[in-house]
Structure 1
């Protein structure tokens, strides 16, 4: 099975150290970028400019390595045709060809739609001299990052879910055809985890379906996916990820660039319109 690799921006890394697990953006197969040994070569391989302000002052670069899962959606990183269609409109050095041009040849790039970090993913740090340093691993939605990081709870509107005994749970596929189910509240068979959730492991054949949850909304004329929501004591606040795939438009709107092609903002839920939710079923029993 292929291993995919994603360069992790400092902004995303800081959120992950708080326990967050949101994943989105451009990725490459590890086998296609294995020649990249130093931090500068890794950035080049993944299509980042050498002077990208996202990494200013960092003497290293972090990468996430993960296996694809049924609920991950990979989209070829190709540009929009004549300014329209479903492709991406990016900033240099994005080429729109679906490849990153490097001194070692072309590297195929994909876009991973907003989701949760897959179970078993590993976070590594690549130094300027090529030394690799293991930082942490994302065990699964029930246990989070290991060794233990922040205590942020998982999103209830983004990621992988499974239906068991007619009830939908946060879920992750494990080894040996098992699935871990997690809930914010106690449930029959569930045990408390160090993350503050309740979890239970079942055989995959007991699962009724596996699906990705997608909640979208419009703010100031732009379309977003809701990555996370919480109550700040006065109402519901949402972290929104721009899904319009038009970087210049996102810049013009003053959105926060947290990664290549990834723009986010925070808004009160009452300020967004046209909220739509859907379950993208990937497998069924």
Structure 2
């Protein structure tokens, strides 16, 4: 798959270590003929109101990644290639951020290894990205040796990467990535549970997904929410931040959320686990 990345998100990925994506994507094979910014602007449908993209730009950044169960086909009239919708997700392991220039050439800007290593910037002289905070609300979670850890699934679902923000207190076998995060690779069979949390709620009548939670300086619990569904007009009225076409997010007090539901979700490619529902 591939999706166009806004200049703001490119900066976030390459400087802050931002490891999330959401929005419209296309199959790379469907748009293999698009090799210039003008062509990419067309096939990715980037001419939406307020777009930061231009068909006359000297370059456009593209994220290329393996397909995942988070993708849903969207029948959008008027588009020349099939569009797929990607809900707010952690970037899949092995994704690459490339820059395509007007003459059809491209360069690799950065590569995302997995949750343990994060981004590696490939351009000479570039600074190493900061380390994004881990969130158990987005991305795989594994139960290993009685503890729940943020994780990634690799090697065709045969291996699991376990990640820690701090050095492990007692477990051995973890190593520290250049990013500063600690990680260990284990076999899928060594993990007793493997799932993703899907924490949904309503905020002022809007269906949202909670993608982060933390305490502010006054110890109030705040949440970052991502808009679900197609109620774009309500999202606009509520003044959520528009990240890109169809992607709206905001930071709110957790006490403002209603109809909260928590599910453990297991994609069908993973072995049977404690899921309450499964993606097909």
**TM-score tier (shorter):** 0.7 to 0.9
Mapping for residues 83-232 of structure 1, pairs under 5 Å: 96-97=76-77, 100-101=79-80, 107-147=81-121, 148-175=128-155, 177-185=158-166, 186=168, 188-189=171-172, 190-232=174-216
Residue 43 of structure 1, CA deviation = 1.6
Deviation, structure 1 residue 221: 1.4
TM-score (norm 2): 0.83
Structure 2 unpaired stretches of 5+: 122-127, 273-280
What are structure 1's unaligned runs of at least 5 residues? 79-95, 102-106
CA distance in 1, matches of 2:57, 2:212: 28
> What CA distance in whole angstroms lies between the structure 2 residues aligned with 1:63 and 1:281?
28
Measured in 2, the distance between the counterparts of 1:38 and 1:169 equals: 41
SS of the aligned residue for 2:79 comes to strand
Deviates more, 1:146-155 or 1:190-199: 190-199
- Counterpart-to-counterpart distance in 1, 2:96 and 2:146: 32
SS of equivalent residue, structure 1 residue 16: helix
User: Quick one: distance in 2 between partners of 1:236 and 1:43?
Assistant: 40
Cα distance in 2, alignment partners of residues 51 and 240 from structure 1: 23
> Which of 27, 30, 54 is the equivalent residue of 1:29?
27
1:40 is matched with which residue? 38
SS of 1:258's partner is: strand
Structure holding more strand per residue: 1
- Cα distance in structure 2, aligned partners of 1:236 and 1:194: 31
Tell me, what secondary structure is at the counterpart of 2:52? helix
Partner of 1:77: 74
State the Cα RMSD in Å: 2.3
Corresponding residue number in structure 1 for 2:65: 66
Q: Deviations over 1:41-81 (max 9, x none)?
A: 11211122187532269532111101124xx3221113xxx
CA distance in 2, matches of 1:221, 1:210: 32
CA contact (8 A) 2:46 2:53 kept: no
Task: Label 1:155 to 1:14 Cα distance change in 2 as closer, same or farther (>3 A).
Answer: farther
The residue matched to 1:32 in structure 2 has which SS?
A: helix
Larger relative contact order (CA 8 Å, sep ≥ 6) = 1
- Aligned to 1:233, the other structure's residue is in SS state coil
- TM-score, L = length of structure 1: 0.82
**Given the superposition, is the C-alpha separation of residues 134 and 218 from structure 1 closer, same or farther in structure 2, using an over 3 Å criterion?**
same
Q: CA deviation at 1:156?
A: 2.2
For 1:155 and 1:59, locate their aligned partners in 2 and report how far apart those are by CA, in whole Å.
Answer: 35
Per-residue CA deviations over 1:68-115 (Å, capped at 9, x if unaligned) read 24xx3221113xxxxxxxxxxxxxxxxx24x722xxxxx111111221
Q: 1:207 to 1:253 in 2, by over 3 A?
A: same
**Secondary structure of 1:100's aligned partner:** coil
Q: Deviations over 1:5-49 (max 9, x none)?
A: 011122322322311211111111101011111112112111221
Conserved in 2, the CA contact under 8 Å of 1:208 and 1:284? no
**1:43–1:50: 8 Å Cα contact kept in structure 2?**
no
Q: Indicate which of 268, 271, 277 corresponds to 1:284.
A: 271
Q: Deviations over 1:105-155 (max 9, x none)?
A: xx1111112210001000011122222121001111011001331222232
